[in-house]
Amino acid sequence: MASRTPEASSHPHCVSNLDAAKYAAVHDFPGGASALAALVGLAPSTLCNKVNPSVDTHHLSLSEAVKIQAITQDGRILEAEAAALGYVAIRLPRAGAGSDVELLNAYAKWTRDIGETAEAIQTALEGEIDEASLAAIHRGNARGLCTRAGAVRAPWHPAAASRATPTPE
């Protein structure tokens, strides 16, 4: 397949991940591309062509990609775009979601996961890589860690401002 963008030649793996993310977000939707197309306002064949990497005549616009992700609640397109540019996308929880105990529990789980991932990487670097170690590393990849990290938000973060601020005692 011919390269459609300059980025494809310098980052072919990331661009193919972006193509795969667009395709999966559309086709994994309950009811498939036809059901999603109706919600997005496109003909099913047009939507399928826009997410088919071998079709050079149709392209998913940024606003269409955002609309698809908002409807499907599937962030793979955003995550693939971020990865292609060297970033990580982190989904933030709703402001005010959960109590202080739930927040502390999420933080504890997140730090535990970081430790488990670090241990798996250390084991792999010591030459003891096996399928279980590789799976452990993949479970703790940037998406998983950062998704869990999104549950831990500093109180000064703008989205946390709507939470009630405790009064000093």
SS3 label, residue 151: coil
pLDDT, tens only, 146-166: 444 444 333 333 343 343 433
Per-residue model confidence (pLDDT) at position 151: 41
Q: Is 80 exceeded by the pLDDT of residue 132?
A: no
Which tokens go with 90? 């982190």
pLDDT, tens only, 15-64: 588 999 999 999 999 999 999 999 999 999 999 999 999 899 999 999 99
Q: What residue has token string 């940037």?
A: 142
Cα 131 from Cα 113, distance rounded (Å): 18
Neighbours of 71 (CB within 10 A): 14
Cα 64 from Cα 126, distance rounded (Å): 46
Q: Is 50 exceeded by the pLDDT of residue 119?
A: yes
Neighbours of 121 (CB within 10 A): 15
* Mean pLDDT (the chain, rounded): 75
Provide the whole-model pTM.
0.55
pLDDT, tens only, 102-117: 888 888 888 888 888 8
Q: What residue has token string 């494809």?
A: 8
Per-residue model confidence (pLDDT) at position 138: 65
